[in-house]
Structure 1
């Protein structure tokens, strides 16, 4: 009996180690489909050896990768499946893993109090777990995650201690990045520098996974931007984007930070076009994730109420409790969702203002380029003007489709309020010739003699 028990324990331990190693490799390389297939394969193995907790670990892995991809509703479904398989487990490492993954799920939903609560439970269970390679690997990550949650809560002292403890235990490219990011978050670039240098060294020395490398490049971009080294910041952030595409955006929930950093970088570089492009990408990603968070909260509330309603054997004296629980669930969820919606509205208002500012910046930059082309009598002036105000040219052609490019260019100069004297100077013709052109344009566009030609162009609509 004893030998059989030892054999079974060894078999299950091998199952855990093998699954953990393979799952981590696939997750960090962004091979989403392969990871799902791996866990389906191990689900069958767990069923074959009658290893209930093994099935729970498979569900947990699938939940985890869905969290990384921002599929929170699917993640919740698999967390619930994992919970049913692991709830009676006597293996405290399994319980620690479950609560660690759940804490990350709540962190993605920006519910940091719940994330901290799950993180504390993970620490408690891990302290009771048997010492192994798996428990040794989990411990530093618990400290790093604790640092993240406390940083978002604004408890910076505890956050820094957690990051440093996690880095001391693991000393990887990722953990060094997290200490570096803490210092950048608190605008201490000098303190961040040695950790970022170390992260870069470890990345190059040990050929880190794509996802870890993405994190290093993002942190380097953050650092270079903080010290106003825009060229190196751009290189590092672009490298992070390349890796993100390579990993098929499995870690799309993290890439919005890269988009935001690029938008801020190009704004500093006075490149309004690129700044606007990346700000739009950031907004799209944030909106997608915010919508996913609200949908998940709604689903969780519905499931909670459904579970209560299933119990049809309640006595009459227990009915008020049912009503109270249901009402509390709806109220709490409603308040939370209203807060999320209000936060989204505020964020969207701010981002809209930023977007409009960038649009104005882009328009002003193009306008200056157009004016400069007129002054140089550059033939590309009309093409650039069409980029600035395509509707104006379309409106002219609607009145008279036979207008030539030279006439369109002349109208564009008047639209820009160049005087006859300035047009004559920049196009190397006499003032009298400009006046004659104005007269011909009036006839070609049927502009009344008593109407000011500049006002006509100012109010021209398609």
Structure 2
């Protein structure tokens, strides 16, 4: 009997220690959902991402797995945050919070607060971001150690490092970045340490982590978005150490990837344009600097209606699928109605907020653009002036590029003007004195005076009109 009792005790102990098949099913659900969702989001495939989460949402409903539904809503919130669609993101965070509020699954709550911290970070509300990050850490400590918790922890540290850096807490920020990198040691985490050192003007230290990030990008499977971040950071680094050739290569690679993934990570592309503008400004290439600043300005100003229309349509499909699913609980219906109303109203609210924000940015960007235009014009003017001083044969051609309307206006007054006369007028437009023109063209001062007289007659310039003022005011 004693032996029998011991055997039965061992049997029930084994049963108690064996994993619940339903728990294993939930864990497989979470891993599969999050892995596939991350792959689609990082590759920029928004519609496929939404379809995937619709299918998992249905599956979670059939399983009566609220935490699974919460993860689906978190995914929808996260992709909308990354794309800058903050109003819809907030709605889905609300849905996720309701499904997770009574949950005893600490991992899911940690994931919720981690994603919510990123939302506040995008809105530059760093105190709220840190508050959510702290809650994420609290729930993480209570969570059972799994494959998912191992992936979450380093990102909690990296995100905390970002928020603390924005708060100016550099010492603790670096510790968080290094801890996150120690745990994950990926291209992304090495890049974040490098970003810290670049931000603090320590390019030598940054260089070591840039090299490690490059190595990890080659040796590990790195997503498009993470590769983009590596190349962007490389461009930033090489620009700091005055290696403009390598900086240009890295930023151009980042730009290629950015265009591919912009539908789910739209905020990245303008930063790459801005970095390229800074690079060419440093190289004194005013034309390219202006081009990329203009591209950056366009990205800042436009609402990107096509992208939001696609995203909103896909989101509405998501809502429609949810409403038609017969297995949903009836008490969810008011939420579906609220979601439908939100779809109709949120876009208008969001657009109004966007317009107000863009108006402010527009003024700043307009000032930057005008300053760069003036810089480019000044640079070109210096080049043209130098050509004139050297009596270079390409002077008139370059002058036409700088002042195309000027030559056109002269020929409208007198179509028979010769190139030599146009060149002479161009030098007067640049306000060269008679003595300077004589010196640069190797003629007598008296000859220049005679040319001025002939030009007055050819262009019908009244005797009382100053010839320099005439050319200055001529339509350009």
TM bucket normalised to smaller: 0.7 to 0.9
User: Match for 1:218 among 222, 232, 248?
Assistant: 232
- 1:449 match: secondary structure: coil
| Equivalent runs, 1:48-87 vs 2, <5 Å | 48-87=62-101
Provide the rounded CA distance (Å) in 2 between the counterparts of 1:31 and 1:111.
29
Question: What is the 5 A alignment of 1:278-427?
Answer: 278-286=292-300, 352-375=366-389, 377-378=391-392, 380-397=394-411, 399-400=413-414, 407-420=421-434, 422-423=436-437
CA contact (8 A) 2:126 2:166 kept: yes
2:453 to 439, 445, 459: 439
| CA distance, structure 1, for counterparts of residue 100 and residue 407 of structure 2 | 68
- What corresponds to 1:91 in structure 2? 105
Deviations, residues 408-434 of structure 1 (Å, cap 9, x unaligned)? 443222201234455466567776665
Q: Deviations over 1:106-149 (max 9, x none)?
A: 10000001111111111111111111000110011000000000
Q: What count of residue pairs does the alignment treat as equivalent?
A: 413
Q: Displacement, 1:200?
A: 0.7
SS at match of 1:208: coil
Residue in 2 aligned with 1:292?
none
Which residue matches 1:23? 37
Out of 458, 465, 468, the position equivalent to 1:451 is 465
Tell which deviates more after alignment, 196-205 or 433-442: 433-442
Contact conserved, 2:210 with 2:234, CA < 8 A, in 1? Answer: yes
Match for residue 267 of structure 2? Answer: 253
- String of CA shifts for 1:60-102, please: whole Å, max 9, x gaps: 1121111111121222222222222222222111111111111
Aligned counterpart in structure 2 of residue 125 of structure 1, from 116, 135, 139 = 139
Name the CA distance, whole Å, in 2 between partners of 1:189 and 1:249. 32
TM normalised by structure 1 equals 0.80
Shift of residue 407, structure 1, vs aligned partner: 4.2
Deviation, structure 1 residue 461? 4.0
Q: Tell me how far apart the structure 2 counterparts of residues 109 and 382 of structure 1 sit (CA, whole Å).
A: 52
Q: Which moved more, 1:136-145 or 1:386-395?
A: 386-395
User: Separation in 1 of the partners of 2:137 and 2:245?
Assistant: 42
Contact 2:259 2:269 (8 Å CA) reproduced? no
Shift in Å, 1:403: 5.0
Mapped to 1, the partners of 2:173 and 2:143 lie a distance apart of 25
Give the aligned CA root-mean-square deviation in angstroms: 3.1
The one of 112, 120, 127 aligned to 1:106: 120
Q: Choose 36-45 or 255-264, whichever is displaced more.
A: 255-264
Matching residue of 1:154:
168
Match of residue 181 from structure 2: 167
Equivalents in 2 of 1:38, 1:379: separation in Å? 66
Q: Is the 8 A contact 2:105 2:143 kept in 1?
A: yes
Q: TM-score, normalised by structure 2?
A: 0.78
Offset, 1:186:
0.9
Q: Which residue of 2 aligns with 1:44?
A: 58
Deviates more, 1:100-109 or 1:372-381: 372-381
State the Cα distance separating 1:389 from its structure 2 match. 2.5
Please list the CA deviations of residues 161-208 of structure 1 after superposition, one character each: whole Å capped at 9, or x if unmatched: 111111111111100111111111111112222211111100111241
Once residues 250 and 383 of structure 1 are traced to their aligned partners in structure 2, the CA distance between those partners, rounded to angstroms, is 46
For structure 1, the 5+ residue unaligned runs are 290-336
| 1:255-270 matches, cutoff 5 A | 255-270=269-284
Q: How far apart, CA to CA, are the structure 1 residues paired with 2:420 and 2:76?
A: 64
Alignment gaps of 5+ in structure 2 = 1-14, 304-352
Question: How has the CA–CA distance of structure 1 residues 76 and 268 changed in structure 2, closer, same or farther, with 3 Å as cutoff?
Answer: same
In 2: Cα distance, 1:386 partner to 1:53 partner: 68
Equivalent residue number for residue 200 of structure 2: 186
- Residue aligned with 2:20, SS: helix
Structure 2 distance, partners of 1:34, 1:420, is 72
1:404 shift after superposition: 5.6
Q: 1:44 to 1:231 in 2, by over 3 A?
A: same
